[in-house]
Amino acid sequence: MVVRPATAKSLRETSDSPGSIFNSLDIHARAMSQSLSVIVPCYNEACRLKGFFELIRRNIDLGWQWIFVNDGSTDDTGTCLTAFQKTAPESIRVVSLPGNQGKGAAVRAGLLAADRPMAGYIDADLAASPLEFSRFMAQQDVASGQTLLLGIRLKTQDGKVQRLLYRHIMGRVFQTFTSVVTGLTVYDTQCGFKLMTTARARQIANEMACDGFAFDVELIMLAERRGMQVREELIPWQEKGDSRVRPGHILEMVWDICRIRRRIRKMPQL
């Protein structure tokens, strides 16, 4: 079952955080101290990590665990992550994959490495702020493991979602195809903002097999198979350039969606 948001939520914002329009620490986040593992898949993200590192420094008192998964980067990502981990080893963890295995493999590895009660994953470009997780962590359906929380990028009059037109069109075409093939009614499967309990995350991650960009669809379908409710919430989003998704990846995703549907349909009922 998919639950859609009725209205957008408010967000405190300031303008001095480098690399992102999101920088204010919500009071609810402090109340949920030490309860979240944030997974950040990284492939050649060296030029983007400075802003993310600064966000963590400003909010280190949260006590959250930050898991960066280096997916075989060929730039200085690994060096940057290792150096940053040394500044706060109790909060920062680096998982290094042998070679570039794909975003799905990186997120899966991060979910399996999480050891706080809640687990969420976010993109390294800070198109969405990880601090937004604090809005949902204490909600009973999410905290109890009943619900998989999905962020969605839907333009509203408040202007908190900024997307390039061609990406929006590509996204809607992909979502229509995904809905027809899998039966999912989710508005935005590919948004890099998802939150669940770590216990649920491990169950799902152990069943996942898609290494590529279509892994979000697999995760959602496996969550529904396990009887979880899927809830969509509007989140502020500021699109960044240099997307890692190339035209060839779209064809791979189409094929992966078909394979995911076939594989999950063959699984025994729980």
Domains of the chain and any CATH numbers: 2-266 (3.90.550.10)
Residue 11 binned pLDDT confidence (cut-offs 50, 70, 90)? very low
Residue 99 binned pLDDT confidence (cut-offs 50, 70, 90)? very high
Q: What is the pLDDT of residue 107?
A: 98
Residues 6+ apart with CB under 8 A from 131: 22, 23, 24, 25, 26, 29, 55, 59
State the chain's mean pLDDT as an integer: 86
Q: What is the pLDDT of residue 16?
A: 38
Report residue 93 as tokens. Answer: 């963890």
Q: How far is CA 33 from CA 42, 63, 134, 145, 257, in A?
A: 25, 5, 10, 18, 37
The answer on pLDDT for 156 being more than 60 is no
Residue burial 92-112, b: 16+ Cβ < 10 Å; e: rest: bbbbbbeebbbbbbbbbbbbb
Separation of alpha carbons 152 and 237, rounded Å: 9
Q: What is the pLDDT of residue 23?
A: 45
Q: Span 176-196, mean pLDDT?
A: 93
Query: HSE-up of 166 (CA within 13 Å, CB side)?
Result: 5
Higher pLDDT pick, 170 / 180: 180
Report residue 198 as tokens. Answer: 């770590």
Q: What are 223-245's pLDDT values in tens digits?
A: 999 999 999 999 988 887 666 66
Separation of alpha carbons 125 and 120, rounded Å: 15
Separation of alpha carbons 121 and 117, rounded Å: 14
Crossing angle (nearest 10°) for helices 165-182 and 247-266: 20
Beta strands in the chain (DSSP E): 2-3, 36-42, 65-70, 92-96, 118-122, 147-152, 161-162, 193-197, 229-234, 237-238
Separation of alpha carbons 90 and 93, rounded Å: 8
| pTM, rounded to two decimals | 0.84
The answer on pLDDT for 197 being more than 50 is yes
Q: What is the pLDDT of residue 7?
A: 44
Query: Beta 36-42 vs 118-122: how paired, if at all?
Result: parallel
Q: What is the pLDDT of residue 34?
A: 53
Q: What is the pLDDT of residue 2?
A: 76
The answer on pLDDT for 14 being more than 90 is no
